Structure 1
Amino acid sequence: MSGNSNTVAPPTGGPASLRANCERCFGLCCVVPAFSASSDFALDKPAGQACRNLQPDFRCGIHRNLRERGFPGCTVFDCFGAGQQVSQVTFGGRDWRTSPEIAARMFEVFPVMRQLHELLWYLTEALALRPGDPLRAELGAARDETERLGGSDPETLVGLDVAAHRQNVNALLLRTSELVRGRAGRSGRDHRGADLVGADLRGADLTGANLRGAYLIGADLRGADLTMADLTGADLRGANLRGADLRASLFLTQAQVDAAKGDVTTGLAPALRHPAHWQLSITPNRPPAGKPHRRPRRR
């Protein structure tokens, strides 16, 4: 990370309530969404039907081997804590198996709650960037309102115009990003929503860049500097982040990291972890085949 005193420290990662706790959820992410057989999922599954790997105790039977069994899409899904909120708060601990009469409504509520919790995560991250008043007050009010909505009854949640609420929150998040990057003198290139699929961005200077919603699928970002780059909603599936500096990137989620490729040289903020499927050791360089390996002279 740059030693510039104007560089904003990365956020803390948000409270535990905004992190998935599968022990307190009834496997909603294994039931509610529809799966299509692809490189992400090994089977077709209609919405509202339990995945064949979901066990009676609401645990995944192949959790430790999801990638090897053809379900990498499951490993990068993040409900931001919506699963336990719906299971334990909205429906008071009743599950859809023993109380089938609530199943349909519970399945309708989950995607709404997930969007609210995702917005709560972003708002929490935005406040941690210390944007200053009056924007800080607006962000705080938006977070309070989002929390209030998340505590509503099932009928209210199903009838909520979550798209309109998301639009309002996104406007605040964009203002926060622009203010923080500008204050740090890091307003970079505007790649918002850009098609950068497979782009060669090795060693690119993307400090302060606006990459909100950019398509970076399979992009080569080895050694790129993404300090203060806004990565809100950027699609990083299969992107090569080896040697890239994302320690002070803005609004980078664990799910985005999990979907990318990297290794121990990838710089991440303390709140983010290097995924287990990444290569987390440095492989020593091997001499080309047929050529003798010479030890460097000591100086």
Structure 2
Amino acid sequence: MLDNHSFPESHTTIPGLPELQSDCLNCFGLCCAALHFSASSDFAIDKPAGQPCPNLREDFLCGIHTELRERGFRGCTVYDCFGAGQKISNLTYGGRDWRQAPETAGQMFEVLPVMRQLHELLWYLHEALTLRGAETLHDSLIKMLEQTQALTLLSPDKLLQLEVPLHRAEVNELLLRVSELARTAARKQLSPAPKRQKNYGRGADLIGAKLRGADLRCLSLRGAYLIAADLSGADLRFADLIGADFRDTNLRGADLRGSLFLTQAQLQAAQGSPSTKLPESLRHPEHWA
């Protein structure tokens, strides 16, 4: 048995995946042009979809990148394209940007959300292959990963014809099985053993919930609304956090080591501290004090 201070991570750093990490230096500023902004606590201005942000420079970089939060563009620091931007810019459109070839702009902007979803699925599938306890599903995961990768190589016209929700549902069904196996394996290793608790249903309303110091090990919080919830000091090891909404969630001192399907974008939306424990594949956001 393993105590609270000595246990294996459910996964290690996902190696060799720069193609699934945002690289603004090799992108045509697609998120800054394609996406819609609404003036709010996340964005200082309204911006229609397809209209470049006024802060987007001629070299496709952000003119206020180091001051985004201070200037009212917190939402920009949370968005993550999972590398879809550079894939579209350099592969799908072969390096022809929408300023040089304005006739491609509309279609290129429509392709971004499609490619982003596919790349997000690739990220989860790669992580699933590293999870202990789910080895029996490796063949299915590899097959699904290869199928998803092939979709990202389609032409723009074919990408826009994809039934992405159907493919996402197939991937999600497989990831659910992976999650159950990985969390079951973790329960057998942790000591003291996690209490058997009812998993929160997908999309559970935990907005503002008071969960300070809670034992949430090995639970499913898939798609839970944790907006402004207090999870300070909570134990979230081996919890399934795919799609959980962490906007303004207090993660100060929380333990997220080994948590399943947590992304950097979720952390960027939350509030944390240097004492927050993270999986090896993720980093403390700069705004965490």
Asked if TM exceeds 0.5, the reply is yes
Please tell me whether residue 242 in structure 1 is matched to residue 243 in structure 2. no
Given that 2:83 and 2:116 are in contact with CA atoms closer than 8 Å, whether structure 1 keeps it comes out as: yes
Please tell me whether residue 224 in structure 1 is matched to residue 234 in structure 2. yes
Tell me which amino acid in the other structure corresponds to 2:245: D
CA distance in 1, matches of 2:168, 2:36: 23
Deviations 1:29-55 (A, max 9, x none): 001110100000000011111011101
* Alignment match, 1:174: 176
CA distance in 2, matches of 1:29, 1:135: 35
- Aligned to 1:167, the other structure's residue is in SS state helix
TM-score, with structure 2 as normaliser: 0.93
CA distance in 2, matches of 1:132, 1:204: 26
Given that 1:237 and 1:259 are in contact with CA atoms closer than 8 Å, whether structure 2 keeps it comes out as: yes
Tell me which amino acid in the other structure corresponds to 1:150: T
CA distance in 1, matches of 2:111, 2:240: 30
2:41 to 36, 39, 42: 39
Deviations 1:5-43 (A, max 9, x none): 5x5433423511100011110000001110100000000
* Alignment match, 2:92: 90
Structure whose CA Rg is larger: 1
TM-score, with structure 1 as normaliser: 0.90
Hey, which bits of structure 1, 4+ residues long, moved more than 6 A? none
* Alignment match, 2:276: 266
* Alignment match, 1:127: 129
CA distance in 1, matches of 2:14, 2:66: 24
Tell me which amino acid in the other structure corresponds to 2:184: G
Percent identity over the alignment is: 59
- Count of residues paired in the alignment: 278
Please tell me whether residue 191 in structure 1 is matched to residue 200 in structure 2. yes
1:215 to 209, 222, 225: 225
CA distance in 2, matches of 1:184, 1:34: 41
* Alignment match, 1:9: 10
CA distance in 2, matches of 1:24, 1:246: 31
* Alignment match, 1:285: none
Given that 2:233 and 2:254 are in contact with CA atoms closer than 8 Å, whether structure 1 keeps it comes out as: yes
CA distance in 1, matches of 2:222, 2:115: 22
Higher relative contact order (Cα pairs below 8 Å, separated by 6+ residues) = 2
Q: Which runs of 5+ in 2 are unaligned?
A: 188-193
* Alignment match, 2:191: none
Q: Which runs of 5+ in 1 are unaligned?
A: 280-299
Distance 1:95 1:78, change over 3 A: same
